[in-house]
Amino acid sequence: MCQKVSCICLFILLFFTSCASRKQLLTTASWGAGDDSIKIWRTIKRLPVGHKGVRRLTVYDIAHPDIPSSFEGCKLAFISDLHYQSLLKERGLKNLMRLLHELKPDVLLLGGDFYESCSDMKPLVDSLSHLRPLLGTYAVLGNNDYERCYEEVLSALKDAGIDVLEHKVDTLYRGEEKILLAGVRNPFDLRKNGVSPSCGLSDDDFVILLTHTPDYAEDVPITHADLVLAGHTHGGQVKVFGFAPVVPSRYGRRFLSGLCYNSDRIPVIVTNGIGTSRINVRLGAPSEVVLIRLHSLYISGE
């Protein structure tokens, strides 16, 4: 009897928590963050309840003195942890692709953990291949991708025109001006990959570091990186009254979700991701697409 009552109470709690998250379709919050050299604003837009695949769009406007004037307004879409097919299935994937097409990003960044089984990898990569951002699509791999079908996913992404940054740096040009994109290979193996690919770069360039887990930004010096993009945590995936019982990070809630900082005050944007792992449930940690808009600090007048 007690077990039945407990189950009913849990169901009611989950129901009302879920409903509360749907009451407001558009939520906006803004702030200045960091020191005088970088300013970040965030806008959150909740997507309609019936929108399968992704529940919110989170937009970060970033102004920095190293962002060249030609990159003013440049849009970078960032998605991670699709775990196709987990909670993300065919219909959700189609909706996700439609949203990304509508956003018209100049660059698409992929944070790893693409699929749940090897058979799901090819249809997912085929869908991603239809997105053709002007400045390209770039990816790093997640722990799931290293555990199975590693060579196959590398080959499939390459065939789809997606550049996999396995401890590599690529240059994004607009005219003669540039920003740099560095990607981390297997950030869980620090014995092999404990030197950040950003370390050999210049402080004069704007450098984005793409890594599957945000822990990497604290585990090793990420010298010259101006912004880190990561996933892996799923935002806790299940949060009740703001508390996440399971956070896959050595640092607990510190890098749970959203805008965080490492010990050197380098900003780390952690996305909730799209799919799920272990159980196909999300609660209090909505699936999201992150859109980053770049601004020259001098043009923006800050």
Is the whole-model pTM more than 0.85?
yes
d(Cα 6, Cα 152) in Å, to the nearest integer?
46
Q: What is the mean pLDDT of the chain?
A: 88
Q: For residue 151, how many C-alpha atoms fall within 13 Å in the half-sphere facing its CB?
A: 0
Does residue 298 surpass a pLDDT of 80? no
In sequence order, the 6+-apart residues with CB closer than 8 A to the CB of 151 are: none
Between vectors from CA 147 to CA 143 and to CA 148, what angle results, nearest 5°?
Answer: 125
Helices within 104-187 (DSSP H only)? 118-129, 143-147, 150-159
What would the mean pLDDT of 244-270 be, rounded to a whole number?
Answer: 96
d(Cα 110, Cα 119) in Å, to the nearest integer?
19
For the chain, give the percent of residues with pLDDT over 90: 81
Higher pLDDT, 82 or 301: 82
Residue showing tokens 């951002």: 133
d(Cα 175, Cα 178) in Å, to the nearest integer?
8
Convert the pLDDT of each residue in 159-206 to its tens digit. 999 999 999 999 999 999 999 999 999 999 999 999 999 999 999 999
- List the domain boundaries for the chain: 26-296
Domain 26-296: give its CATH code. Answer: 3.60.21.10
Tokens (6 digits) for 135: 């400045």
